[in-house]
Amino acid sequence: MPTNFTVVPVEDTPLSDPDYDGDILKEEDKEESDTVAGPYSGDETLRETSSLISTDHDDSIYGKHMALYEDEIDSTPMVSSLLNKLAHYTNVTQGVIEHEEAESEDGIQRVTVKGPQMGTFIGVFLPCMQNILGVILFLRLTWIVGTAGIMQALAVVFMCCSCTMLTAISMSAIATNGVVPAGGSYYMISRALGPEFGGAVGLCFYLGTTFAGSMYILGTMEIFLTYIQPEANVFDDQEPNGMQNNMRIYGTCCLAIMTLVVFVGVKYVNKLALIFLSCVVLSIMAIYAGVIQSAIKPPNYTICLLGNRTLKNKFDKCLKTEVIGNVTHPTELWRLFCKGDLGNETCDEYFNLNNLTEIRAVPGLLGGVISDNMWGHYGQVEKIVEKKEQSSEQASATNDVLKSYVINDIATYFTLLVGIYFPSVTGIMAGSNRSGDLRDPQRSIPSGTILAIVTTSFIYISCVVLFGACIEGVVLRDKYGDSVKKTLVVSTLAWPSPWLIVIGSFFSCCGAGLQSLTGAPRILQAIARDGIMPFLQVFGHSKANGEPTWALLLTAVICEIGILIGSLDEVAPILSMFFLMCYLFVNLACAVQTLLRTPNWRPRFKFYHWSLSFLGMSLSLSLMFVSSWYYALFVILIAGCIYKYIEYRGAEKEWGDGIRGLSLNAARYALIKLEEAPPHTKNWRPQLLVLLKLDSELGVKHPRLLSFTSQLKAGKGLTIVCSVLEGTYMAREADAKLSEKNIKAAMAKDKTKGFCHVVVSSNQRDGFSHLIQSAGLGGMKHNAVLVAWPTNWKQSESSLSWKNFIETIRETTAAHQALLVAKNIDTFPTNQDRLAEGTIDVWWIVHDGGLLMLLPFLLRQHKVWRKCKMRIFTVAQMDDNSIQMKKDLQMFLYHLRLDAKVEVVEMHAGDISAFTYEKTLVMEQRSQMLKQMQLSKTEREREPQLIHYKNTKAHASQNDKPTPTPTSDRVHMTWTKEKLISERNRLREANMTVRDIFNMKPEWENLDQTNVRRMHTAVKLNEVVVNKSQGAQLVLLNMPGPPKNNCGDENYMEFLEVLTEGLERVLLVRGGGREVITIYS
């Protein structure tokens, strides 16, 4: 569809100047890139930058016509600028193809990077063909057909090709969903599934490619030592592990040579790629030509059968004896089974009972062997390969003559063949790996990859049928061609010469090995440069020309491990596992993105569906366990360990992956389900809203509050850490972000898992009120608030701190939320501390729903408090049966499954002491004075002395006796424990009553009796708590409620101070009005 453009002339611009030099723009672009890459300043809003977005503009251009949008131009580009960037956007080459060194005139080595220029055929189709067709086709496919039979071999090919076809469809959808830059398949997987899955699958893909290099090198050495130059063997093939030792020695030498070639320059590998591909194509053409030739004139290859057993053809004639000049002579074959001279020989029993038969190895397309090769012939290790249709007399074979037969070197079964064959269909990602070098990756990758899979699948299926129709079954099951004089079995079918396939397969395996050693280091380099695994960072470095030197070295070491295994049949299932794991996650990525229907999921490739991806994922997983269940578990364990490592280290990459989208959908679904009904008591756990105070530098004022939070939560449940800044958001936006950053750093340091939120409000009271009301989402809202006790509230210039604290208590009560107040929070243990011994004392005064008893149990789950014992104290009045109370409480704890020591404390209704009256008097006088006068800082510091002077003067006027009375020093503000005990003793000795005290102190009669009673309770209860729990590691107390009106707020703070006086660590607890613990299961 044509697009119409309107050309607008622009006056007085540099672009319209004929003398304008384009280099100016280049310099501006350079400066712009330097600016974008610079450090982020706190005064600016952090935005996601894009290579397609440019903020360059000229006032002369935009100032006249776009003045309305001039404020937005700095952050949002004009459409014309964006389209210009898109039009000139070029994908960066991956570096797999060209990292050529060019020498400039001054002699300095520079890297020249060629732009994308390859189309579908050269860039995708041929690389996929070269990687798919290779070692298994030439060395093992005939053996698979002979062992499994045509029908089961077709089933193996169909399953494996279906897996790769479904994976290619999913990969095509991912590859066409946006630009795929350098990184290829690893880039697609990691950006679709996130850094954790991306790192795990990326390393699996890397290991699979590396072990593929091992397999190709072993295949190369097998062709060389078995079919090209058998005399080069260092160890005898007949010795145990002799062949494997030869493979190890020559494979190591071959690996060293290939590594050196790749190190010198990947350009040499790419120049040889066309030669290697030509070898593959010529070899396949030779096979098809040989099939046609066999229908006309079958090849002259013959095999010798003893009875129905296949013999290794190490002799010239398939005869027991031969007549030369009317004299019978034993043949070379006879000497393999007989000892002694002819006529006085001792021969093998089976040799004597059965005759020799010589048949064609390749009967040809019209030879009628297809029916014999239709079904499988599996066997155990060292089982002789037999032709079942041939008659024979059975007899046991001795170990000496067993070496003359063709035997199975490994036990064969269907699942083994799947694992060995699957590497022959890998390589479908060769095109996506070259995404940076393609002219149009979004069109070339799907069409080229799918066309390559269709082509290679046709080749494999046709070869299975043609091999079974043309070659004798016992020859097909002869893995190394011993029955046809050590000739490559597939080459017996070749035309015009078997050496065409031998040489072609040799160079094909060499080329595939070089491609693996070239591609694998770059996959590792891409993973290392992403920075998701710190220990791999060293492998992200490269030479001046871009070659990943250290990654190549590690690849060679891992490849050597595969070579030391020494057997192609044992290496093939290993790399099958790694590739299947990779394909599984490609399908998973496509299925997740499709089901989530994320707005950014808009692939150009339309022929996909989530069901196909799910089928491909299931097929990949099934093939893993079908091939080798223990290898499958091992690879899954490796991927799981890598995933957990990246998760533990904290993957900081955000790629907009599908797993995050899946998490969002799952979270939304869970929140909606939670909203349907309130949680049951059995599911109740403290969901904490932690209200933090910040210091002048916007740091956390009480970091141990976060430590206590993590100890209480043990990583479970919801934790929302919040703070409030005073002001307006527009003015304090940067401070809010800095505060949030500092809080998150403190949470990470204390391993507090949760969410962080900082709000800006006109005052802290409103800010905390809004947080208590609105924090959380849906069913995931907090049910408890944790705050620190306002320290030094008496000495503070402003009363806002303790007034806000009391208002927080009132609002949590109104919202039916629990409240936890940590007093002396700076003395609480950190997460690194370990309390070796001690107790957690619970003072259960009133029933709060069981929260007091649940909290110590949760704390003891953490390693800091694990060794502390739990004690529960309750208070009995005079008319209570303390013995029965203790029994009932013990039974209650038994049903709650809580292990705690129970103690009932009796509080007698004694008279109100003078100390209580004096504390109440001082409290009320201080409150009244603060209301009547505006005290300066100096006056507040002198306040206790003023009150002391006033009280002393008043008491002196009431008492005319010159001698000191027992109450003459009770007016002191500084009451110590020793003074308290001595005062009580003196009161008891004098037998003074409350009425006597009132008569002596008329001023006490004017006190509010409610305050006197509350102070009395606080003093008496504090005395009991200090007596029992002064040495406890933590004391939990019921927190009394605040007064209903605001008149007695300051008195309420004083009551709490008296209640907790003399205790090191105190947690005041106020329940939320619901049961949180139950005896039922």
Over residues 240-263, the pLDDT tens digits come to 788 899 999 999 999 999 999 888
What was the pLDDT predicted at 276?
85
Mean pLDDT of the chain: 78
* The predicted structure's pLDDT at residue 250: 94
Average pLDDT over residues 755-776: 89
pLDDT for position 441: 78
pLDDT above 80: residue 160: yes
> What's the whole-number mean pLDDT along residues 590-614?
87
Average pLDDT for 536-547 = 79
Q: What is the pLDDT of residues 1064-1073, one digit of tens each?
A: 889 998 887 6
- pLDDT on residue 41: 39
Confidence band, pLDDT 50/70/90 cuts, at residue 559: very high
Query: pLDDT at residue 444 above 90?
Result: no
Tell me the average pLDDT across 1007-1021.
72
Residue 210 has pLDDT above 90, yes or no: yes
Query: Residue 136: its pLDDT value, please?
Result: 92
pLDDT score, position 974: 43
Of 52-66, 487-501, 665-679, 1060-1074, highest mean pLDDT = 487-501
Residue-wise pLDDT tens digits, 769-819: 999 888 888 778 888 899 998 887 777 666 777 888 888 888 888 888 889
- CA 302, 310, 463, 279: dihedral to nearest 10 degrees? -70
Instruction: Specify the DSSP class assigned to residue 798.
Output: -
Query: Helix, strand, or coil here: 23?
Result: helix
pLDDT of 6 reads 42
- Report the pLDDT value the prediction gives residue 663, as an integer from 0 to 100: 74
pLDDT of residue 722: 93
> Is the distance from CB of 169 to CB of 442 less than 8 angstroms?
no
- 990 or 756, higher pLDDT: 756
Tell me the pLDDT tens digit for each residue of 373-427: 999 999 998 888 988 888 888 877 666 677 888 999 899 999 999 999 999 999 8
Does residue 38 or residue 442 have the better pLDDT? Answer: 442
Which has more confidence, 77 or 1043? 1043
Q: Say what the pLDDT of residue 954 is.
A: 43
Identify whether the C-beta of residue 371 lies closer than 8 Å to the C-beta of residue 321.
Answer: no
Q: Residue 77: pLDDT band by 50, 70, 90 thresholds?
A: low
CA-closest candidate to residue 522, choices 206, 190, 214: 206
pLDDT in tens, 457-482: 999 999 999 999 999 999 999 999 99
The structure tokens listed for 802 are 């303790």
Indicate the pLDDT class of residue 515, thresholds 50, 70 and 90. Answer: confident
Asked whether 135 and 508 are in contact (CB, 8 A), the reply is yes
CA angle 880, 881, 882 (to 5 degrees): 100
More confident residue, 262 or 325: 262
Confidence of residue 734 (pLDDT cuts 50, 70, 90): very high
> Which residues make Cβ contacts (< 8 Å) with residue 1072, sequence separation at least 6?
783, 784, 812, 816, 817, 818, 819, 849, 851
Of the listed ranges 317-326, 703-712, 1002-1011, the least confidently predicted one is: 1002-1011
Q: For 427, left (φ over 0), alpha (ψ -120 to 50), or beta? A: left
Is the pLDDT at 499 greater than 70, yes or no? yes
Residue 672 tokens read as 């909606």
User: Per residue in 1-31, pLDDT tens?
Assistant: 444 434 444 444 443 344 444 443 344 344 4
Question: Looking at per-residue confidence, does 499 or 74 come out higher?
Answer: 499
Cβ neighbors of 376 (< 8 A, separation 6 or more) are 147, 148, 149, 152, 414
Q: CA angle 1074-1080-1081, nearest 5°?
A: 120
Quick check: 305 and 356 in contact, CB under 8 A? yes
Total Cβ atoms within 10 A of residue 756: 21
Tell me the pLDDT tens digit for each residue of 341-375: 877 888 888 888 888 899 999 998 888 889 989 99
Report the Cα 860 to chain-centroid distance in Å. 30
pLDDT for the residue numbered 1048: 66
* Selection from 157-171, 798-812, 828-842, 873-887 with the highest mean pLDDT: 157-171
**Residue among 779, 846, 806, 875 at smallest CA distance from 1071:** 846
State yes or no: pLDDT of 834 exceeds 90. no
- The stretch 440-448 carries a mean pLDDT of 86
pLDDT greater than 90 at residue 238: no
Please check the confidence at residue 760 and state whether its pLDDT lies above 50. Answer: yes
Whether the pLDDT of residue 139 is over 70: the answer is yes
Residue 742: per-residue pLDDT: 93
The candidate with the shortest Cα–Cα distance to 566, out of 224, 226, 227, 221, is: 221
Q: pLDDT for 643-688, tens place per residue? A: 888 877 765 665 655 566 677 777 777 777 777 667 766 667 788 8
User: What is the 3-class SS of 974-1032, one letter each residue?
Assistant: CCCHHHHHHHHHHHHHHCCCHHHHHHHCHHHHHCCHHHHHHHHHHHHHHHHHHHHHCCC
pLDDT at 59: 47
pLDDT at residue 795, as a whole number: 72
pLDDT for the residue numbered 465? 95
User: What is 182-223 written as a DSSP string?
Assistant: TTHHHHHHHHHHHHHHHHHHHHHHHHHHHHHHHHHHHHHHHH
Lowest-pLDDT range of 202-211, 385-394, 578-587, 1025-1034: 385-394
Specify the pLDDT at position 11: 43
213-219-221-224 Cα dihedral, nearest 10 degrees: -140
How far is the CA of 65 from the CAs of 61, 108, 344, 888, 923, in angstroms? 7, 48, 116, 85, 72
DSSP state of 683: G
Instruction: Note the pLDDT of residue 343.
Output: 76
Terminal CA-CA length for the chain: 70
Nearest in space to 91 (alpha carbons), one of 34, 31, 51: 51
User: Which pLDDT score, from 0 to 100, does residue 346 have?
Assistant: 84
Higher pLDDT, 867 or 1013: 867
Across the range 708-725, mean pLDDT stands at: 83
Could you tell me how many helices (H) and strands (E) the chain has, helices first? 36, 19
CA pair distance 756, 749, nearest whole angstrom: 14
**Residue 40 DSSP class:** P
Of the pLDDT bands very low, low, confident and very high (cuts 50, 70, 90), residue 271 is: confident
User: Residue 121: helix, strand or coil by DSSP?
Assistant: helix
Place 931 in a pLDDT band, splitting at 50, 70 and 90: low
Least-confidence region, from 127-141, 291-305, 880-894, 927-941: 927-941
Task: Give the confidence band of 328 by pLDDT, cuts at 50, 70, 90.
Answer: confident
Banded model confidence at residue 571, pLDDT cuts 50, 70, 90:
very high
Please report how the helices 184-223 and 549-565 are oriented relative to each other, as an axis angle in degrees rounded to 10.
Answer: 40
What is the pLDDT at residue 876? Answer: 78
CB 705 within 8 A of CB 820: no
Q: How far is CA 568 from CA 259, 458, 479, 571, 575, in A?
A: 20, 25, 12, 5, 11
Cα distances (Å, whole numbers) of residue 130 to 207, 512, 513: 20, 7, 11
- pLDDT confidence of 920, banded at 50, 70, 90? low
One-letter-per-residue 3-state SS of 439-499: CCHHHHHHHHHHHHHHHHHHHHHHHHHHHHHHCCHHHHCCCCCHHHCCCCHHHHHCCCCHH
| pLDDT for the residue numbered 674 | 75
Q: What 3-state class would DSSP assign to 344?
A: coil
Per-residue pLDDT at 884: 83
